[in-house]
Structure 1
Amino acid sequence: MISVNSLTKRYGAVTAVDDVSFEVKPGQVTGFLGPNGAGKSTTMRILCGLTPATSGTATVLGRPYAALPNPGRHVGVLLDASAQHAGRTGREVLNLGATLMGIDRSRVDEMLSVVGLTDKESNRRIRNYSLGMRQRLGIAHALLGDPQVLVLDEPANGLDPAGIRWMRSLLRGFADEGGTVLLSSHLLNEIERVADDIIVIGRGRIVAQGTKDELLRGAGTTVRATDERALWAALEAEGIVAQAGGSGALLAEAEPAQVGAAAAKHGVALVELRGADGRGLEDMFLELTAADAREEVAA
């Protein structure tokens, strides 16, 4: 469980995170979305004890990260795959992590296998790794302590399509076994595929949060009638806003039951009535953050 309550972070006159509150539940993948400069990375850094909050609290498993005994055994963190010692090999990085966490080094080989790094690759200097390989190594390190919680900032950066699919399967499996996942990503399609809950942040404030289905449900209703003009008139009479949806269909800003009832009340015969499921996460994201994007402050 991750719990963030009234979290605020100010840098002088700039408020990077503004009274943010949310929860991330066990057994679920929660997508954390927002434009550049929205406050995602700052929130995650506060959560992981790397940046102090101005006010408010952020806890993992009921405690601040710094108060967790041997935190790597409870929380796996990947915030920047490039922030690894370039002169060490991947295996050396994991062996050091295992030593610091008091874990048997056999776990290192297990995690290398999980993330798909070969023995040859694991013994290569990190300066010679591609970004995708660094991401895999970072995920191996995050999983090394067999944690209950994962906090991952843009973990799919640099991965090829097969790697992204592997990542999706890994996170889904972790959550299905009861783990808690907070995932930040700009790959909206991947968030839509893997996330159970979604949190959208803009200009340092939460602009929307809920289950994926709840947030996308507002896409409205696609409706088509034998008499398009009569349908327009029926919807207008019942106060339902609609717009042309193409091929004679209308896109109404109401639930299908409301639209169907309006048509029936005015004697309009319908030939199509269904939830408009084509908006998708990208449209929802752009709609919610259009007025909130902020480029001048680092996320």
Structure 2
Amino acid sequence: MISVTNLVRTYGDFTAVDDVTFTAEAGRVTGFLGPNGAGKSTTMRVMTGLTPATSGAALVLGKPYAALTNPGRHVGVLLDASAQHAGRTGREVLTLGAMTLGVPRGRVDQMLDVVGLTAKESERRLRNYSLGMRQRLGLAHALLGDPEVLILDEPANGLDPAGIRWMRDLLGTFAAEGGTVLLSSHLLHEIEKIADDIVVIGRGKIVAQGTKDELLRPSGALVRSADDRALAAALAEENLTFEQLPTGGLQVEAETGLVGAVAATHRIALVELRAGDSQGLEEMFLSLTSDDARKELAA
């Protein structure tokens, strides 16, 4: 489990992370989303002991990362797949990692097999690796100590569609076996497929969090009637918020039962009444972070 409480990180007058609080539970995949510069990477760096917090706390398995004994045996981290020694082979990187963590050398071959790097590929220098191969090696290194928690920043970068599906299955299995996964990615479609919980950050603040089903569930009601003008007047009389749709009908910020009751009271015949359409993760993300996106485009 990961617990972030009232976390603040400032750089001079700039506040990169502003009173951030959320948890990533064991047995679940938590998607950590936000535009560039929103504070995701800074938060993850504080979690993993690379950046000190100005105030607040980020605990992994109930402790600060630095307080864990041999932390790589408990927490697998992949923040930058390119931050590896270009002159070493993939096998050398994992072997040094195994020696540092105190795990059997046989774990190296197991992890190479898990991430799909062949024996021949493992003997190549990292300078000759594609980005996708570096990502696979980074995941192998994160899994090397058989951790309980994974903290991954953009692990799908450079992976082809088959590789992305492989990673999705790998992380899903890890969580299903009781592990905690915190996953940052710009691939919203993939986050929508794999995440159980979602945390959205914008300008250093949490702007939404909850289970995927809670955040993406349909909102309000869609209603069409024999007289939409009269229905709109009736809804306004009841102080209900609504929007007229270009294709006809109304989108109402209220439960279907209430909308139906208003129509019945005013003797307005309904042609259609149903729960509003569910928004996808991309639509939710863009609506929550639109100010940041405009700021980035203008910069």
Same fold (TM over 0.5): yes
Amino acid at match of 2:28: Q
Corresponding residue for 1:24?
24
Corresponding residue for 2:160?
160
Is the CA contact 1:220–1:275 (under 8 Å) kept in the aligned structure 2? yes
How far off is 1:118 after superposition?
1.4
Check 1:273–1:23 CA distance in 2 against 1; reply closer, same or farther (3 A cut).
same
1:250-289 paired onto structure 2 within 5 Å? 250-289=250-289
Check 1:91–1:13 CA distance in 2 against 1; reply closer, same or farther (3 A cut).
same
How far off is 1:276 after superposition?
2.5
Q: Deviations over 1:51-96 (max 9, x none)?
A: 1111111110011101111111100100001111111111111111
- Asked if 1:235 corresponds to 2:235, the answer is yes
Q: Deviations over 1:15-58 (max 9, x none)?
A: 11111111111111111111111110000000000011111111
Percent pairwise identity: 72
Structure 1: distance between partners of 2:112 and 2:260: 55
Corresponding residue for 2:64?
64
1:1-299 paired onto structure 2 within 5 Å? 1-217=1-217, 219-292=219-292, 295=296
Taking structure 1 as the reference length, the TM-score comes to 0.93
Is the CA contact 1:65–1:71 (under 8 Å) kept in the aligned structure 2? yes
Is the CA contact 1:222–1:245 (under 8 Å) kept in the aligned structure 2? no
Structure 1: distance between partners of 2:128 and 2:259: 59
Q: CA RMSD in A?
A: 1.9
Structure 1: distance between partners of 2:218 and 2:12: 38
Structure 2: distance between partners of 1:6 and 1:230: 49
Check 1:224–1:148 CA distance in 2 against 1; reply closer, same or farther (3 A cut).
same
Runs of 4+ in structure 1 off by over 4 angstroms are 292-296
Bigger mean CA offset, 75-84 vs 220-229: 220-229
Structure 1: distance between partners of 2:33 and 2:284: 11
Check 1:100–1:35 CA distance in 2 against 1; reply closer, same or farther (3 A cut).
same
Amino acid at match of 1:137: L
How far off is 1:126 after superposition?
0.9
Check 1:106–1:289 CA distance in 2 against 1; reply closer, same or farther (3 A cut).
same
Is the CA contact 2:225–2:231 (under 8 Å) kept in the aligned structure 1? yes
SS in 2 for 1:214: helix
Bigger mean CA offset, 94-103 vs 225-234: 225-234
What is the total number of aligned residue pairs between the two structures?
A: 296
Is the CA contact 2:226–2:269 (under 8 Å) kept in the aligned structure 1? yes
Structure 2: distance between partners of 1:37 and 1:295: 9
How far off is 1:246 after superposition?
4.7
Is the CA contact 1:37–1:295 (under 8 Å) kept in the aligned structure 2? no
SS in 1 for 2:163: helix
Check 1:111–1:233 CA distance in 2 against 1; reply closer, same or farther (3 A cut).
same
Taking structure 2 as the reference length, the TM-score comes to 0.93
Structure 2: distance between partners of 1:59 and 1:28: 17
Q: Which runs of 5+ in 1 are unaligned?
A: none
Structure 2: distance between partners of 1:111 and 1:227: 65
Is the CA contact 2:218–2:277 (under 8 Å) kept in the aligned structure 1? no
SS in 2 for 1:10: strand
Is the CA contact 1:15–1:204 (under 8 Å) kept in the aligned structure 2? yes
Is the CA contact 2:90–2:126 (under 8 Å) kept in the aligned structure 1? yes
Bigger mean CA offset, 264-273 vs 195-204: 264-273
Check 1:143–1:264 CA distance in 2 against 1; reply closer, same or farther (3 A cut).
farther
